[in-house]
Amino acid sequence: MTTIDMAAGTRADRTGLLRFALRLDALASGASAVALLAGGAVLDGPLGIPTSVLALTGAALVAWAAAVWYVGSRPRISRTAVWAVIGFNIVWVLDSVATAAAGWFSPTTLGTVLVLLQAGAVAVFADLQFLGLRRSRAAGG
């Protein structure tokens, strides 16, 4: 397994974008998880997405946020783990767009807009993670 050494002083600067992108993803996912778990019953009506789906999504996001934070917090970041994070983020984006396009769960306009906005945010996370991975490779990390 290839890793990126974050312990070396000069490499930490070269891999800062990757660490930032992973932490940002984890923090946003964690915040979304809290909102969905704490406010799922309230959000059900305005979003048109069942409380059970919101709660299940929130629970999954708790685990996701913890896993992504773990990957980004290691002194040596695993390239394989980062590729897995990027891959899962791409799947999330595609699934979100499919959900919005198909009208699964009969979301309201607000629900559809929020699903697409978060898909856009996740696409940005994946892009930043890819760029950070590429930058660390170019730097010899």
Render pLDDT for 92-118 as a digit per residue (tens, 0 to 9). Answer: 999 999 999 998 889 999 999 999 999
pTM for this model (two decimals):
0.87
Measured N-to-C along each axis, helices 16-47 and 51-73 cross at an angle, to the nearest 10 degrees, of: 170
Q: Does any domain span residue 114?
A: yes
Domain that holds residue 55: 10-138
Rounded CA gap, 130 and 19, in Å? 11
**Cβ burial, residue 101 (10 Å; 0-12/13-18/19+):** exposed
Q: Is residue 45 part of a domain?
A: yes
In a domain, 1, yes or no: no
User: What pLDDT, in 10s, does the model give residues 65-86?
Assistant: 999 999 999 999 999 999 999 9
Domain count within the chain: 1
Residue 3 lies in a domain: no
* 123: in domain: yes
**Quick one: how far is CA 9 from the chain centroid?**
27
Instruction: Report the pLDDT averaged over residues 4-13.
Output: 49
**Which residues are CB-neighbours of 32 under 8 A, at least 6 positions away?**
58, 61, 118
